């Protein structure tokens, strides 16, 4: 009788035959190979530019199954990737010919309104968490698109509409459970495994497979004032940018403003005559008192003749998913971004020059205001660093997979990036890096925290089992 074998790539550059009977710890429905029903879903990721085919996908349902998979990977030196929400632009969730751990079946959420904490399974998406916590009028700091994975976003630092008030996502992170390269299931927090907890607060998937996250919660919503307002760019871009510059130095932390320029999408809320024409838009999210919101937002509401004004009372959950449709899964994406200490006149000129060059119907120049609580922690409070950042800004290239102009759109991203790089703090957000960002870009994401991250990596993952990520080589 022959036993069925599976060829898997190793991180030494070889291939091993794994006896399929070895996988029996994982229930049958949690083991997928190309061609199996469910395989395509389990390997679907956001960026259509990425084309990878794992030889095996394991879908663990609990921490013991994760530990089993990590032991298997370490013992056989398998190339291992971890998939949270599959939103990483570099496609790091998947590994060609290797083994992918798809965490999407670990999606439990438990809100503890008395302790003001939420316990989140590693397969959750942002929308899962927002919906559960908002039932209690509570929220933690998460990003702007509800289909993003909680795990990847948190482990890279995380920012969103609440960052000005509460900091990076990791500033709300109280504890994790993590399976490290030795197969141990460990809690980590500021007191227990403090170095590990420090490293995972920004260091990504380098230190193990996180199985659960516990976050601090804050009173937010459920009703807030928020939305998007857009004007024709040709007549209004300079004035809108001037208002944006002014407002981001004066408004309270309850108000976050995101500025973007693009060709108007064929959305029902934009009159048809504007579709495909350049617009400048501000996305606003005010989580404070509604009367205060009216006052704080007045300069935007009063300016010019918008092509659309959707800033209004709405739910926080609604705001958190408002941009989902602008980021469809499976389109092609290529970004370059920087952290900025400020938005000055020269930066605005560069931003607008880049905007004029936009040709793809989906690309945009964008900047997020994050100044506030993120700046109040020590630079080494968590590996995330970049505590001197007031904005995240960059060129976000996007186009349908069928568009033959892909290379030209990527060229626009790169040349736009060259124009804005001189205004950077010197740091860039690890979670926005693309496949062609090299080690020097990783280093500049962490700056003063980089060498310590590599030392902690050597302590917890000396063989670099967790290498399919923005990798930190063990020191």
User: What minimum distance in Å lies between the beta carbon of 66 and ligand FAD?
Assistant: 8
Which residues on adjacent β-strands are paired with residue 339? 392
Which is closer to ligand FAD, CB of 202 or CB of 306? Answer: 202
CA-based angle 254:131:398, to the nearest 5? 75
User: Considering beta carbons, is residue 86 or 98 the nearer one to ligand FAD?
Assistant: 86
Which residues are 218's β-sheet partners? Answer: 139
How is 240-283 classified by DSSP, letter by letter? Answer: HHHHHHHHHHHS-TTEEEEEEEEEPP--TTS-GGGTTSEEEEEE
Q: How far is CA 121 from CA 118, 133, 160, in A?
A: 10, 14, 20
CA distances from 410 to 302, 326, 406 (A): 36, 18, 6
d(CA 375, CA 5): 53
Beta-carbon contacts of 429 under 8 Å, excluding residues fewer than 6 positions away, are: 156, 157, 159, 337, 339, 386, 392, 445
CB closer to ligand FAD, 237 vs 390: 390
Task: Let me know if 427 is exposed, middle or buried by CB neighbors in 10 A (0-12, 13-18, 19+).
Answer: buried
- Number of other CB atoms surrounding residue 156 within 10 Å: 27
**Is residue 354 within 8 Å of residue 419, measured between CB atoms?**
yes
Q: How far is the CB of 156 from ligand FAD (least distance, A)?
A: 5
Binding site for ligand FAD (CB under 6 A): 46, 81-89, 92-93, 103, 122, 143-145, 148-149, 151-153, 155-156, 158-160, 204-205, 209-210, 327, 431, 469
CB of 126 to ligand FAD, least distance (A): 8
Q: How far is the CB of 208 from ligand FAD (least distance, A)?
A: 7
Q: Which is nearer to ligand FAD, 200 or 237 (CB)?
A: 200
Between 208 and 232, CB nearer to ligand FAD? 208
CB of 352: closest distance to ligand FAD in angstroms? Answer: 23
Nearer to ligand FAD, 364 or 431 (CB): 431
Query: Which CB, 54 or 152, lies closer to ligand FAD?
Result: 152
* Residue 204 beta carbon to ligand FAD: minimum distance, rounded to whole angstroms: 5
CB of 233 to ligand FAD, least distance (A): 22
């Amino acid at each position: 009788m022959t036993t069925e074998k599976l060829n898997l790539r190793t991180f030494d550059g070889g291939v091993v035959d794994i006896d399929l009977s070895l996988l029996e710890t994982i229930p049958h429905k949690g083991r997928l190979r190309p061609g199996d029903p469910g395989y395509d879903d389990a390997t679907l990721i956001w960026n259509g530019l990425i084309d990878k085919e794992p030889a095996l996908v394991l879908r663990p349902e609990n921490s013991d199954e994760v530990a089993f998979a990590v032991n298997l990977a370490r013992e056989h030196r398998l190339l291992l990737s971890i998939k949270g929400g599959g939103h990483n632009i570099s496609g790091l969730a998947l590994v060609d010919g290797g083994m992918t751990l798809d965490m999407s079946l670990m999606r439990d959420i438990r809100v503890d309104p008395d302790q003001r904490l939420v316990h989140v399974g590693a397969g959750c998406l942002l929308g899962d968490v927002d919906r559960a916590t908002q039932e209690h009028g509570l929220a933690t700091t998460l990003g702007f698109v509800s289909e993003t994975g909680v795990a990847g976003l948190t482990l890279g630092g995380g920012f969103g509409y609440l960052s000005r008030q509460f900091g990076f996502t990791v500033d709300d992170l109280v504890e994790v459970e993590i399976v490290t390269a030795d197969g141990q299931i460990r809690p980590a927090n500021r007191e227990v495994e403090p170095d590990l907890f420090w490293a995972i607060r920004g260091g990504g998937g380098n230190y193990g497979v996180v199985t659960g996250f516990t976050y601090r919660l804050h009173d937010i919503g459920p009703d807030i004032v928020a939305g998007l307002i857009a004007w024709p760019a040709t007549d209004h871009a300079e004035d809108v940018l001037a208002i944006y510059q002014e407002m981001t130095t004066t408004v309270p932390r309850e108000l976050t403003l995101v500025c973007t320029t693009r060709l108007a999408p064929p959305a029902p809320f934009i009159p048809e005559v504007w579709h495909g024409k350049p617009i400048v838009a501000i996305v606003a999210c005010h989580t404070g008192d509604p009367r205060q919101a009216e006052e704080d937002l007045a300069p935007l509401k009063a300016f010019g003749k918008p092509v659309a004004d959707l800033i209004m009372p709405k739910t926080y959950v609604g705001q958190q998913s408002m941009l989902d449709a602008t980021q469809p899964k499976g389109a092609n994406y290529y970004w370059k971004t920087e952290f900025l200490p400020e938005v000055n006149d020269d930066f605005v000129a560069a931003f607008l020059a880049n905007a004029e060059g936009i040709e793809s119907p989906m690309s945009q120049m964008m900047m997020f205001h994050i100044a506030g609580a993120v700046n109040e922690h020590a630079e080494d409070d968590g590996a995330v660093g970049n505590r001197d950042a007031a904005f995240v800004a960059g060129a976000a290239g996007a186009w349908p997979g069928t568009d033959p102009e892909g290379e030209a759109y990527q060229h626009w991203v790169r040349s736009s990036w060259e124009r804005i790089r001189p205004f950077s703090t010197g740091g860039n957000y690890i979670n926005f890096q693309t496949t062609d960002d090299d080690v020097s870009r990783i280093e500049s994401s962490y700056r003063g925290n980089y060498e310590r991250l590599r030392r902690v990596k050597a302590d917890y993952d000396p063989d670099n089992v967790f290498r399919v990520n923005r990798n930190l080589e063990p020191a």
